[in-house]
Amino acid sequence: MARVEQPGVRSPAPEALQLVQDLVNTVDLEAGADELRTAEDAAGWARGRGLSGLGYDAGALADVLTLREALRDVCTAHTGTDVPAATVAALDDLLERAPLRLAVDAEGRAAVRPAAGLTGAAEVTAAVAAAIVRATADGTWPRLKACAADTCRWVYYDRSPAGRSRWCTMAICGSRAKMRTYRKNSRAGAREAG
């Protein structure tokens, strides 16, 4: 799987969540760079993550982009906001078209996997859903968060002991937010004093 460089000194999400993190971070909102501009880009991205990369057309690309932004909203909710109703509906629609199956191996271990024969957005959605099921089971899913800075919203894995990180990196987004708050409070204090 291709590795996406993380801001600051953050390490990537645990293996179960790397697919989700990598998908959401295919767009850098601050720089305006998007790795998934065409159906061919999306197919190549999927192949780079061990998926078939088959079945990509304009409709599949649109669904993958909808999935990406819905996941960003869900990861934002992990910092304490609600997921918009339209996002929930869009995500439910995508998930309905991406069935999972329970597989058992020779040692008796069970795992949730994408159903056989899926391609395009359904294959990516099912792989993401299976990853979220694993991460929910091991307790790591709520720690995959989107940066609270509206201009950033980069998805990062919160490894802090309390699990309360709000920014992808304190040195950049956190510092900017704290400076804005300081300036706002300073202006308000000056108006009250004057």
pLDDT value of position 168: 78
Residue range(s) defining the domain that contains residue 90:
15-193
* 40 contact partners, CB below 8 Å, separation of at least 6: 56
pLDDT of 46-61, one tens digit each?
Answer: 999 999 999 999 999 9
pLDDT value of position 188: 58
Whether residue 108 lies inside any domain: the answer is yes
Whether residue 1 lies inside any domain: the answer is no
Whether residue 9 lies inside any domain: the answer is no
Count up the domains in the chain and report the number: 1
pLDDT of 129-164, one tens digit each?
Answer: 999 999 999 999 999 999 988 889 999 999 999 887
CATH number at residue 78: 1.10.3300
Whether residue 155 lies inside any domain: the answer is yes
Mean pLDDT of the chain: 88
Contact between 27 and 174 (Cβ < 8 Å): no
pLDDT value of position 169: 65
